Structure 1
Amino acid sequence: MRSRDVGLLVRLGALGAVALLVGAGGCQPEGNSSLSTGPGGPGGTTGAGGSGAGASAGGDQGEAGAATTGSAGGGGGGTEDPPARVVTIEEITTEVVPRDTVVELKGVVAMSRKFFLDDTNSGDCLWGVFLSSPGLEETAANSGILAVSRSKATTDGNGEPVCPSLESASAGDPFPDDVAPGDVLDVVGETTYFSSSSCRDACGDLTCDSASEPPENASNCRQDCGTSPELIPQSAIGQFQIEWIKSAMRTGRVDVPEPHVLTADEVVKLSSPTETPFHHKWGGVKVRLEGSLSPVLRTNTMGEETVVGSYGNIHVENGTEGGLVQVGNKVYYIGGAQSACHQGPVYSDVNVTFNRVDGFIYKNFCIWSLQLTNKCTDIDPPSDDCVEDNLVCP
């Protein structure tokens, strides 16, 4: 399968093939794949062994505030849905609600636009929207989650299945194509947990500063891939999600909560491969880094130092031991986009220092990272083209 949304996609097959594919792909610490196999076929989440949540309920798009659902039905693998249990995001991320449960989240707040996650060998296109608990002035632990919806790919002139570009076509999944931060939604789907035991070993052994400290217990380990000097360790810790979305009903608009400002200790935990309690609490939540944040410079193929590395990622550090964070463009980037709003960030000044970074704590291809929603407003200073072109991005 090919997608116009990204330049290179990692194909995901059955669960037994995940480790093989990751290993065969070599070291990809900054790649874009985020999902493995789950209920109803490839592309779900490991740890989910039940039936899918069923076919999605399609509908027409409407104005914000109208009761609308997405443009088509891309659902799970089951044939008959059990009744949805009304729950909260906190109940999912604290496991009060078991995994593989069909649930309804009422009045949750969209924190991001809809974005392309991945495709599957079964012909599904996967889309993501970050959601927050309602009624918050500031994000908090256990208040955020990634919702993963599906649609069927179309076929190009060569008979190849292709996922649409959100810049020019409808995704065809249950979420409205124009879903935006602040939209209030009622969402029906299935609780899942993304986890892959192959993540930790995908690039070979972990190397640690202390030879006496086992890699699985070391907070100062770095993946030994031999190509990048600022590697962030891969992690086998999973992330809670709501998947197999059946319907996403838009019911209103509110102000989005302010992102929680991480402490120095929390910044260190963000990239740690072993901080399970932290990632279970904060995965899917929008947070803020503040202070003097220096980029770790890369060297491009021409031997020049750059702020922005592979896949549009920026690595920043706050001067704290282990306080290195990968800042990505997964949410706003669209491969081949005409609008600069959906292109990668640009920083020509290698001496730039960032004062603030807002993003979602998200496991992107085995690495816990921070994903921006907007390269003009979620990072200070903004991308160069935001200033030079007076770019205003939604």
Structure 2
Amino acid sequence: MRSREVGLLGLGALCAVAVFLGAGGCQPEGNTRPPGWSGRPGGTIGEGGSGAETASSGDGGREGEGAAGTAATGSAGGDGVGTGDPPVARVATIEEITTGVVGEGVDVEAKGVVAMSRKWLVSKSKSSGSCLWGVFLSAPGIPVTEANSGILALSYGTRGVTDDQGNVTCPNIEQASAGDAFPDDVKPGDVLDVTGRTSYYSPADCDEQPPEANPTRVKQRQLASVTKVKLVGSAPIPEPHVFSGEDIAKLAAPSDPDGEKFHDAWGGVKVRVAGPLSPTLQGEMQTVVGAYGNIVLAGSGLRVGDKFYYVQGSMDACHGAPDYPSTDVEWARIDGFSTLDYCTWSLQPLNKCADFDPAGKDCTDGLLCE
């Protein structure tokens, strides 16, 4: 993400063995931000942001399947060393994957899909050092997102560097290649042919999470083990489908409401929640932004996170936590992707300024994020 101040231009996110911390009240691995840190000097917003480095949204397939490897029968290593003949991927649409027409564990190619996000670090494994990257995809040719039109695609990249304390640092794609199958500069509107393996995933320990985490009882459909991505063009980005009123609570529901396959249909889709929207104040300090950058909407209980745009240690304010020092904020709308944040269904905005109305204080002070 690039940022600029007005008048100034400049450059201013796993599998079962992975360590996923940073949701449901857990402290994320390697998060050293003190309480009150907002992602920019002098900010005070509560307990800081989440950090996409440790957030979990998927299994990514078998750990060790690197971008340079193939989704092979047998095993494929993070360094691209596979064994056996690669399976033949069948062509499938996002709708066929998310409705279950194509079952779990099937090698598929989704052709002509539209990137809806930049690449972001989904998770990292303290045990293996693996780094899992994700991109949200949309079905082509639609003016507005709809049920079963979106999916999260996942690909392992270069293994991270482990320090003496066992902390893993994955590549910073502003400075070095991630080494996964997706181009480092993939952006919304890119049209892609993507080859991977269908997955139906949630962390194994969701039933052990505390009730306040609102842990899911349903899984998220994904395109995991992505090993091949081809850029074939560009296309307009569909506008987000609007949820309002009582329907907003469905996005936060731990199970499918009213017998619908709701999360199969809307998991991975960019949507808009329409206001008026008020926050539930959090913590002893009663702040808008609580633990690890999360906002919780009053009434619906929907968690709004910062896992896509927050980058730990970045001095770019576009990569900092949302900044809402006043508790009187009321949003007209918030845009984001419906996805699992570890075991909790959440809304994850892509852009901390453009995806909120009103945006946070640092955005209204002149910060524009792209």
- Normalised to the residue count of structure 2, the TM-score between the two structures is 0.79
1:101 counterpart letter in structure 2: V
Aligned residues: 324
Equivalences for residues 132-147 of structure 1 within 5 A: 132-147=138-153
User: Does residue 325 of structure 1 match 2:306?
Assistant: no
Find the counterpart in structure 1 of residue 91 from structure 2.
86
Find the counterpart in structure 1 of residue 293 from structure 2.
312
In 1, are the aligned partners of 2:65 and 2:225 still within 8 Å (CA)? no
Q: 1:43 to 1:357 in 2, by over 3 A?
A: farther
- Between 1 and 2, higher relative CO (CA 8 Å, sep ≥ 6) is seen in 2
Find the counterpart in structure 2 of residue 393 from structure 1.
369
Find the counterpart in structure 2 of residue 28 from structure 1.
26
Counterpart Cα distance in 2 of 1:151 and 1:128:
10
2:62 counterpart letter in structure 1: G
Q: Report deviation, 1:280.
A: 0.8
Find the counterpart in structure 2 of residue 126 from structure 1.
132
Find the counterpart in structure 2 of residue 361 from structure 1.
338
Q: Report deviation, 1:122.
A: 2.5
Q: 1:155 to 1:273 in 2, by over 3 A?
A: closer
Q: 1:288 to 1:172 in 2, by over 3 A?
A: same
Please state whether the residue corresponding to 1:146 is helix, strand or coil.
strand
In 2, are the aligned partners of 1:106 and 1:186 still within 8 Å (CA)? yes
Q: Report deviation, 1:364.
A: 0.5
In 1, are the aligned partners of 2:130 and 2:160 still within 8 Å (CA)? no
Structure 2 gaps of 5+ residues are 1-13, 29-49
Q: 1:148 to 1:12 in 2, by over 3 A?
A: closer
In 1, are the aligned partners of 2:25 and 2:291 still within 8 Å (CA)? no
Of 167, 184, 188, which residue of structure 1 is paired with 2:195? 188
Q: Report deviation, 1:190.
A: 0.6
2:363 counterpart letter in structure 1: C
User: Does residue 342 of structure 1 match 2:319?
Assistant: yes
1:12-35, Cα deviation, whole Å (9 max, x unpaired): 6549xx8xx88xx99539975325
In 1, are the aligned partners of 2:58 and 2:154 still within 8 Å (CA)? no
Q: 1:42 to 1:236 in 2, by over 3 A?
A: farther
Equivalences for residues 37-48 of structure 1 within 5 A: 39-41=61-63
Please state whether the residue corresponding to 1:298 is helix, strand or coil.
coil
RMSD: 3.1
Find the counterpart in structure 2 of residue 219 from structure 1.
none
Q: 1:29 to 1:145 in 2, by over 3 A?
A: farther
Paired-residue identity, %: 45
Find the counterpart in structure 2 of residue 375 from structure 1.
352
In 2, are the aligned partners of 1:92 and 1:191 still within 8 Å (CA)? yes
Q: Report deviation, 1:38.
A: 7.0
Counterpart Cα distance in 2 of 1:309 and 1:277:
30
Counterpart Cα distance in 2 of 1:259 and 1:266:
15
Of 206, 211, 215, which residue of structure 2 is paired with 1:199? 206
Counterpart Cα distance in 2 of 1:74 and 1:35:
23
Q: 1:13 to 1:290 in 2, by over 3 A?
A: closer
Q: 1:177 to 1:134 in 2, by over 3 A?
A: same
> Structure 1 residues 151-160 or 190-199, which shifts more?
151-160
Q: 1:74 to 1:308 in 2, by over 3 A?
A: farther
2:139 counterpart letter in structure 1: S
